[in-house]
Amino acid sequence: MSDKIIYKAHPWHGISQGESFPEIVRAFIEIVPTDTVKYEVDKESGYLSLDRPQKFSNIVPSLYGFLPKSYCGPKMAELTNKALVRTDVEGDGDPLDICILTEKDVTHGDIIARARPIGGLRLLDHNQADDKIIAVLRHDVTYSGYNDISELPKGVVNRLKHYFLTYKDMPASDLNSERPRKVEIVATYGREEAYEVIRCSLEDYKSHFNSLEEILRHV
């Protein structure tokens, strides 16, 4: 028996995007609609960790995760500032989030899914770029016919928006406060702009984790 240790790939750093990128992307799924708690990948270990219970009845209306080897850094900030004609938005320092629409009941996260991006939500969280790419599961019977977010039923898009505008809400005692909302969706964009956002996030990753990429090539 070999004494070589086999390691599970870190979902953020160890999964490539493949040759069909950005038309087809690989996503790591953290949360599914049946989850009543929020799971999030622990950046150091790569294991899926329990972040927090959902405080209210809002549930994620799609598969939700992130794109491996992506990072929201200076290029993402530059893209957002240009789109909003601003100069003060920064990247949030996290991988790029993705929502994947499917008719199927996927029962758990901690999986890899292939999907086609069709658009995105330009979201600001504490004035940091926190875009949400909207995609459809590859070969999905119901959603595979959609090629751009503009073709989706408005109710589907509104459900996604509602989730992201409310999933960080505070307990009831704070709901009536006049403090400005921490999360805001400033724009919805289509497939081609989603491709640009994805490319920028991968360029940010390469710049930010340049030394890590070199190390992994020699493992």
Question: CB-based contacts of 162: which residues, under 8 Å, 6+ apart?
Answer: 58
First-to-last alpha carbon distance for the chain, in angstroms, is 21
- Percent of the chain scoring above 90 in pLDDT: 72
Per-residue pLDDT, 218: 43
Indicate the average pLDDT of the chain. Answer: 88
pLDDT of residue 19: 86
Of 10-14, 70-74, 145-149, 195-199, least confident by mean pLDDT is 10-14
Averaged pLDDT, 184-190 = 97
Q: Note the pLDDT tens digit of each residue in 42-99.
A: 998 899 998 877 666 678 999 999 999 999 999 999 999 999 999 999 999 999 999 9
- The pLDDT value recorded for residue 69 is 95
The predicted structure's pLDDT at residue 212: 64
pLDDT > 70 fraction of the chain, expressed in percent and rounded: 85
Domains of the chain: 25-167+180-217 (3.90.80.10)
Predicted local confidence at residue 158, as pLDDT: 96
- Per-residue pLDDT tens digits for 121-133: 999 999 999 999 9
The pLDDT value recorded for residue 216 is 53
Token pair listed for 133? 């790419």
Assign 22 to helix, strand or coil.
coil
Q: If pLDDT is split at 50, 70 and 90, which confidence band does 173 have?
A: very low
pLDDT of residue 109: 95
Helix and strand numbers, DSSP H then E, in the chain: 5, 10
- Number of C-alpha atoms within 13 angstroms, CB side, residue 150? 7
The highest-confidence range among 12-21, 38-47, 92-101, by mean pLDDT, is 92-101
For residue 34, the one-letter residue type is: T
